[in-house]
Structure 1
């Protein structure tokens, strides 16, 4: 292909290609699927530190970001190896905090099996529970723990899921694997009362409310996209059709 033909085809692609939508600064969703109107923030009686993997940060349906928008006094920190992360280390070294990590495993204390008194003893008197949660795939979470030496000594907690995840727009490894926002909700459900959070107010259900709204909207968008004629759907084959793949000679 000569240069003139290439430039001509490139101009055609520019004029016929997709027009990308502007994204909301908060939820990183296009206007038609922005869920910010459904966000109702509250204080869960603990601080939640969401360690979000760079890959997860790019996903528009990352529920770690959603959790951050709902939870007062929460943190959203991007990275994979947090060993030398100044914000993480400052939180870990804060004497007013008791840091734990939500992470399943044989060395994790299972909240589902703990008595009320055992949950009350989870946090030393006078300290605020600071819950670290890794937002990413299981593979990236394992890698984050392996690389982040400062996270390896944190007390770990977990729970036994009592129902399948409702994350219907994203495939989970197994039915009992929860999304980040569902896992945080369940943790508050199990330990919130012992921290002085009034569980019966159901304020923590606001996490699931915005999550369900997002899932429903994504399903609607998927269905409407499938209903469009094929020629109206954006396809990456457009470049191939215009001869813009490969080298320019």
Structure 2
């Protein structure tokens, strides 16, 4: 039996995050999330929060090149970049002058575990031909209820929030507030022994 969902946030009613949401942020740079199918039904996935808080966001679910054929065509007519820490990525920093930053109309963000993201890159070599951007310094990871696979891992929401903060000076506070609210709601539903494990790991 499916749990009833909140009509607005689409989280289960028991973990509704509506009271933690602020006014949607107006981001000029479009955020295009390519989401691995295994992430769609994950309760702790942060893309749903982004879709509630950003005015200029598109989510495309898929894995293979065929899944993203339309996306690839769409990106040919805009200045875009992939958020990915490759060797050739331009590292964005707070002190970087606006004139030295690449023009990005659409930022492509991959949503999945590192293993799934790696597979998406292998199946879509065209992604590696896009300009890449990353961060000179990472913000502290605040997503304590989902284990990071790498020391430098950020959730999709945190990575997107940090990019918009550096690139457009958009305050990340509303996005972090939504994330903290989701963590609070999810933690409340955990058995006590599971909850204590996460608290110890923080």
TM range (shorter): 0.7 to 0.9
Pick from 188, 197, 211: which aligns with 2:164?
A: 188
Mark the CA change 1:139 to 1:115 in structure 2 (over 3 Å): closer, same or farther: same
Partner of 2:183: 215
Q: SS at 1:190's partner residue?
A: helix
Distance 1:169 1:62 in 2: 11
Aligned to 1:67: 50
Equivalent position SS for 1:75: strand
Tell me, yes or no, if structure 1 residue 118 matches structure 2 residue 86: no
Q: What's 1:101 paired with?
A: 82
Alignment gaps of 5+ in structure 1: 1-18, 194-198, 228-249
Does the 8 Å contact 1:51/1:135 carry over to 2?
yes
1:236 aligned partner:
none
Secondary structure in structure 2 of the residue aligned to 1:152? helix
Per the alignment, residue 148 of structure 2 pairs with 172
CA contact (8 A) 2:16 2:185 kept: no
- For the aligned residues, what is the CA RMSD? 2.2
How many Å separate the matches in 1 of 2:105 and 2:183? 30
Question: Which runs of structure 1 show a deviation greater than 3 angstroms over 4 or more consecutive aligned residues?
Answer: 24-28, 160-163
Distance 1:220 1:113 in 2: 36
Question: Separation in 1 of the partners of 2:113 and 2:91?
Answer: 21
1:226 aligned partner: 192
* Alignment gaps of 5+ in structure 2: 194-202
Match for residue 48 of structure 1?
31
Change in 2 beyond 3 A, CA 1:114/1:105: farther
Q: 1:114 to 1:129 in 2, by over 3 A?
A: farther
| Aligned-pair CA distance for 1:173 | 1.6
> Hey, what's the Cα distance between the residues in 1 that align with 2:51 and 2:168?
17
TM-score, length of structure 2 as denominator length: 0.84
User: Which one has a bigger Cα radius of gyration?
Assistant: 1
Q: CA 1:216/1:110 → structure 2, altered by over 3 Å: closer, same or farther?
A: same
Cα distance, 1:63–1:92 mapped onto 2, change above 3 Å: same
Aligned residues, how many?
Answer: 191
Q: 1:183 and 1:219 mapped to 2: Cα distance?
A: 22
User: How far off its partner does 1:111 sit?
Assistant: 0.6
Provide, for residues 173-193 of structure 1, a one-character-per-residue CA deviation record: whole Å limited to 9, x for no partner: 234311000000111111114
Residue 141 of structure 1: which of 93, 112, 117 is its match?
117
